[in-house]
């Protein structure tokens, strides 16, 4: 039984470690100041900004990522491996480096043209969305590809033989069958965007009431020794995180078709 | 009429060369080949999911080679069935009619008749996860047939079933075919399926067609040793033409010193003396002679004495392993249990066997 207890003990240690970390936050939570920090317009702004930016970034990541995931899952084509490898770039490059790369890009003639003719990204809200999109697009594609891989292409083959076009086979068969996996991928990608800091702060800056998302607000609160605000924001971030994980867990429950 | 001409498929390690198949309207044709011979690739190419290197496919007068799968009018039942797990049996069955935007009222009666033949009325509101293996097969077959395809493709339709359910599904398939006459191409490695269901078959080994013909013609007259071996033929021997007895219209073959007489009518080719051939007789065509019993003329030519080496028990028959005294040739003999009981056979016993001339098959 020693073996069993050692293994379970390790798992319990990890749990206690994270739980202790979260619980320690409550040590500094004092009633009135806490509520003041929570209801401060800057705090509410950063919460709203984070929710909106993460949702929009996830939306774009799904729009581009789902067809890409399908292509990588179902088709063989030249350059597939290179494309697949590139999806991991945001995972291996430091977020700050990614943000810095954007800053450099927007100083090139093409970048300047985009900013002059269209949308301004540097130190603007679209910059937050772009930074978050860049961080999660690869991940979202990867996760959605894994969900699509689980669905046998044979279903589509049969649907095609029964008269469905490739589009119809996708939305009548593959999409409903992989729906839960795709939803879990989307939730996880959203959570990743929601917590994104490095690329966002580098590209969009940390301007209160303008480009300040929750992780950025935590950073600025700590920098100005506003511990109450930092803790409030951390707790909200943890709360959203746990909700997200719960959501993913729910989608993981195998759907019984009955 | 379905015509597949010169289908050549190159994929990974698979190489399928110049496959030709013709199926009459309402026919049940088998494509029989060993496991892993690329049979599913052939079906996928016919369906349009895979582009063959060369080849043309006609359904009636229409060439469908350039059409996408959804416009070919070919239904497909894969080996794993691929019933849509998120749809109830009824929705699975109606999928093709809805996908093709066909008028449900026109098809209603036909689908109802199919449901009755397949005996699945009580399963229509269930999801595939709540169906047994046999029930899933029935629903999958029905789903394929519901939109009235011009060609039905079946991939190993009886694989993975318990023996008793396999028999049920075999009967259902036969009834289904007899009632609705769907033109069917079925791939399998199991000759038993062919024997029960098929009219015609194409034997396909190592990427090439070895023999095409009616079921019985192939079964009783394999064209090559490869086909005979694939069909599970026992008693396959290398023989040499020893002499030609013109008076009795017989050829005498030598098998390791044993002389076997065969009627000349068996040979299509000219058989010169000294030519090497393959001789084959099915285990159920070798007879053990009961001592004192009258022996028919057709058996008298090839009677050999020898010893029983072993007897094994099968489900409906015994297999007797017999070795001739002369030439030490081993024969596998299959005897139905009821006949076995009257023969009083045991290991080590000396007996005589007779080979019926008409049952001998010679492959040049």
pLDDT higher than 60, residue A256: no
- Give the pLDDT mean for A47-76: 95
Alpha helices in B181-334 (DSSP H): 191-197, 215-220, 225-230, 297-300
d(CA A219, nearest CA chain B) in Å: 47
Q: Which helix (H) or strand (E) holds B239?
A: strand B236-245
Please give the structure tokens belonging to residue A175.
């999409």
Q: What is the pLDDT of residue B266?
A: 65
Summarised one tens digit per residue, pLDDT across range B17-62 is: 888 998 989 989 999 888 878 888 899 999 998 888 999 999 888 8
Please give the structure tokens belonging to residue A93.
């490059």
d(CA B35, nearest CA chain A) in Å: 19
A159 at B interface, C-beta within 8 A:
yes
Chain B residues whose beta carbon lies within 8 Å of the beta carbon of residue A161: 47, 69-70, 72, 74-76, 144, 149, 153
Strands B28-32 and B14-23: unpaired
The pTM of the whole model exceeds 0.90: no
d(CA B186, nearest CA chain A) in Å: 16
Q: Are B360 and B251 in contact (CB under 8 A)?
A: no
Q: Which fold has domain A34-252?
A: MetI-like fold (1.10.3720)
Q: Would you say the CATH fold of B236-363 matches that of B2-224?
A: no
3-state secondary structure chain A: CHHHHHHHHHHHHHHHHHHHHHHHHHHHCCHHHHHHHHHCHHHHHHHHHHHHHHHHHHHHHHHHHHHHHHHHHHCCCCCHHHHHHHCCHHHHCCHHHHHHHHHHHCCCHHHHHHHHHCCCCCCCHHHHHHHHHHHHHHHHHHHHHHHHHCCCHHHHHHHHHCCCCHHHHHHHHHHHHHHHHHHHHHHHHHHHHHCCCHHHHHHHCCCCCCCCCHHHHHHHHHHCCCHHHHHHHHHHHHHHHHHHHHHHHHHHCCCCCC
Q: Locate the DSSP E strands across chain B.
A: 2-11, 14-23, 28-32, 54-59, 62-63, 74-77, 151-155, 184-188, 200-205, 208-214, 236-245, 250-255, 258-263, 276-280, 286-289, 303-313, 317-324, 330-336, 350-355, 361-363
User: Could you tell me the residue ranges of all domains in chain A?
Assistant: 34-252
Residue B167 and residue A199: Cα distance in Å, rounded? 65
Chain A residues whose beta carbon lies within 8 Å of the beta carbon of residue B82: 152, 154-155, 157-158
pLDDT higher than 70, residue A253: no
Q: What is the pLDDT of residue B268?
A: 58
Residues B86, A177: C-beta atoms closer than 8 Å: yes
User: Could you tell me the residue ranges of all domains in chain B?
Assistant: 2-224, 236-363
Q: Which of A151, A157, A163 to mutate to test the interface with B (most CBs of B within 10 A)?
A: A163
Q: Considering only A111-120, A129-138, B96-105, B150-159, which range has the smallest mean pLDDT?
A: A111-120
Summarised one tens digit per residue, pLDDT across range B272-316 is: 888 888 888 888 889 998 887 777 877 788 999 999 999 998 777
Residues B68, A165: C-beta atoms closer than 8 Å: yes
How sure is the predictor about A258, in pLDDT bands with cuts at 50, 70 and 90? very low
- Cα radius of gyration (chain A): 22
A151 at B interface, C-beta within 8 A:
no
How sure is the predictor about A122, in pLDDT bands with cuts at 50, 70 and 90? confident
The segments of chain B whose pLDDT lies below 70 read 266-270
Q: Which fold has domain B2-224?
A: Rossmann fold (3.40.50)
Q: Considering only A79-88, A185-194, B162-171, which range has the smallest mean pLDDT?
A: B162-171
pLDDT higher than 90, residue A131: yes
Residue B49 and residue A157: Cα distance in Å, rounded? 7
Please give the structure tokens belonging to residue B109.
């009666």
Summarised one tens digit per residue, pLDDT across range B64-78 is: 988 999 999 999 999
d(CA A44, nearest CA chain B) in Å: 42
Chain A residues whose beta carbon lies within 8 Å of the beta carbon of residue B93: none
Residue A57 and residue A127: Cα distance in Å, rounded? 10
Q: Would you say domain B236-363 falls under CATH 2.40.50.100?
A: yes
Strand partners, B179: none
């Amino acid at each position: 039984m020693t073996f069993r207890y050692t293994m379970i003990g390790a798992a319990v240690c990890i749990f206690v470690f994270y739980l202790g970390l979260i619980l320690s936050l409550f040590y500094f939570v004092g009633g009135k100041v806490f509520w003041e920090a929570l209801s401060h317009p800057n705090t509410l702004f950063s919460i709203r900004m984070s929710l909106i930016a993460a949702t929009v970034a996830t939306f774009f990541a799904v729009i581009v990522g789902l067809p890409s995931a399908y292509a990588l899952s179902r088709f063989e084509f030249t350059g597939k491996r290179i494309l697949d490898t590139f999806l991991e770039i945001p995972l291996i490059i430091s977020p700050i480096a990614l943000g810095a790369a954007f800053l450099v890009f927007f100083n090139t003639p093409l970048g300047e043209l985009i900013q002059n003719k269209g949308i301004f990204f540097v130190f603007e809200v679209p910059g937050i969305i772009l930074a978050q999109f860049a961080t999660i697009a690869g991940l979202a594609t990867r996760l959605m590809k894994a969900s699509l891989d689980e669905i046998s292409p044979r279903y589509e083959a049969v649907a095609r033989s029964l008269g469905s076009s490739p589009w119809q086979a996708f939305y009548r068969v593959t999409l409903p069958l992989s729906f839960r996996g795709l939803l879990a991928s989307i939730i996880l990608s959203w959570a990743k965007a929601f917590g994104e800091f490095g690329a966002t702060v580098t590209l969009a800056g940390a301007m209160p009431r303008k480009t300040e998302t929750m992780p950025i607000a935590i950073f600025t609160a700590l920098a100005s020794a506003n511990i109450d605000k930092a803790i409030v924001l951390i707790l909200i971030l943890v709360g959203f995180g746990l909700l997200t994980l719960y959501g993913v867990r729910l989608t993981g429950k195998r759907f019984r078709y009955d | 009429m379905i015509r597949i001409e010169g289908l050549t498929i190159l994929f990974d390690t698979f190489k399928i060369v110049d496959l030709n198949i013709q199926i009459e309207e309402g026919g049940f044709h088998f494509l029989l080949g060993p496991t892993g011979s690329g049979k599913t690739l052939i079906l996928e190419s016919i369906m349009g999911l895979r582009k063959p290197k060369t080849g043309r496919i006609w359904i009636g007068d229409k060439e469908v080679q350039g059409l996408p799968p959804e416009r070919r009018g070919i239904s497909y039942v894969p080996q794993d069935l691929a019933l849509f797990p998120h749809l109830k049996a009824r929705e699975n069955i109606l999928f093709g009619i809805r996908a093709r935007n066909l008028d449900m009222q026109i098809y209603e009666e036909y689908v109802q008749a199919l449901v009755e033949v397949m005996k699945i009325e009580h399963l229509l509101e269930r999801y595939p996860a709540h169906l047994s293996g046999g029930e899933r097969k029935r629903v999958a077959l029905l789903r394929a047939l519901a939109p009235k395809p011009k060609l039905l493709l079946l991939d190993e339709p009886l694989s993975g079933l318990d023996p008793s359910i396999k028999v049920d599904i075999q009967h259902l398939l036969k009834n289904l075919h007899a009632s609705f006459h769907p033109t069917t191409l079925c791939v399998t490695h199991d000759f038993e399926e062919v024997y029960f269901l098929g009219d015609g078959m194409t034997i396909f080994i190592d990427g090439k067609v070895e023999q095409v013909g009616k079921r019985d013609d192939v079964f009783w007259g394999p064209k090559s040793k490869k086909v005979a071996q694939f069909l599970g033929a026992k008693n396959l021997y290398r023989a040499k033409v020893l002499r030609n007895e013109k008076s009795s219209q017989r050829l005498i073959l030598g098998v390791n010193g044993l002389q076997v007489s065969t009627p000349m009518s068996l040979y299509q080719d000219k058989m010169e003396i000294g030519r090497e051939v393959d001789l084959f007789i099915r285990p159920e065509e070798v007879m053990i002679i009961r001592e004192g019993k009258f022996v028919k003329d057709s058996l008298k030519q090839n009677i050999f004495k020898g010893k029983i080496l072993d007897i094994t028990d099968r489900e409906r028959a015994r297999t007797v392993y017999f070795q001739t005294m002369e030439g030490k040739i081993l024969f596998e003999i299959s005897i139905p249990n009821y006949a076995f009981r009257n023969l009083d056979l045991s290991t080590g016993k000396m007996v005589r066997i007779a080979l019926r001339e008409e049952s001998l098959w010679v492959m040049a």
